[in-house]
Structure 1
């Protein structure tokens, strides 16, 4: 594993773990923390750290790695966006599961990450076959 990926994992995994812990704890922290700015910072700081780690690894990659990731970053939001839009249309037509808005919103990021992972596998394979 390249050094850039190791550093990314060292930075990204704790940030995402912190985000997950804060999501779970927000139900307990919100009533206890009276200050809205403190609640906002506690909630968004891990997300900001994860974004910084992702941008840093993208910047430090070599050109072929960057191209694969950028293509994957382009594909993943399209798949996720069209998927959730289609799901919303199905909900409006009373087809399939009926979920509250908050339940749907909390599924967007995991679906985006999964879409990115699948897109990266496919884009990497395509680049490897054409090289």
Structure 2
């Protein structure tokens, strides 16, 4: 079952990236940049998720079926809400909202959904067995240390005028990078204990 889901995830990611590239090179201007960017982001996300899932231990080894169902009931709606909120806020901020207070409210609209997703993750970790909890905590700790170190190094390079990364872009990518590095760290740490 896991293998077919991983293959579907990988194939969907590749297909979306190929469609995005084809739309860009074969019929330029037909698909708006925002839509191409969205499709490329989803395709990349599916590829990364598929690659991570391929190497992670089987979820049946990590928690009970009831715990996994509860996690998905809490996590999936939060991420769906986040997706709608982030896309809606980008669109509203580009075209319709001028008042600074309202812009701040619209810009922060995805935050409650991220909070709900984090709550689902924490509840899942809290209710797993001791070994799985240890793997999760070590993975999160390692990911936090590595991303913090990379962000600090980038800040030093920015201050030395070696690189020039817009601050908004750097800040927005901290959480996704933390999630990605956490997934990679979990693969390594789970194998060490497996």
TM over 0.5: yes
- Work out which of the two has the higher radius of gyration on C-alpha atoms and give 1 or 2: 2
Kindly tell me the number of residue pairs found equivalent between the two proteins: 127
- 2:137 equivalent in structure 1: 70
After TM superposition, give the deviation of residue 26 of structure 1 in Å: 1.1
Give me the whole-angstrom Cα distance separating, in 1, the residues matched to 2:154 and 2:104.
Answer: 34
- 1:11 equivalent in structure 2: 74
Q: Secondary structure at the match of 2:171?
A: helix
After TM superposition, give the deviation of residue 37 of structure 1 in Å: 9.2
Matching of residue 23 in structure 1 with residue 90 in structure 2: no
Gaps of 5+ in 2: 1-59
Instruction: Return the match for 2:122 from 55, 61, 80.
Output: 55
- Deviations along 1:71-114, one digit per CA (max 9) or x if unpaired, are 11111110000011111112222324x22110001110111001
RMSD: 2.5
Instruction: Return the match for 2:183 from 87, 104, 117.
Output: 117
- 2:110 equivalent in structure 1: 43
What pairs with 1:61-100 in structure 2 (closer than 5 Å)? 61-96=128-163, 98-100=164-166
TM, length-normalised to structure 1 = 0.81
TM, length-normalised to structure 2 = 0.57
Higher relative contact order (CA 8 A, sep 6+): 1
1:90–1:32: structure 2 CA closer, same or farther, 3 Å change rule?
A: closer
1:73–1:62: structure 2 CA closer, same or farther, 3 Å change rule?
A: same
Regions of 4+ moved over 4 Å: 32-41
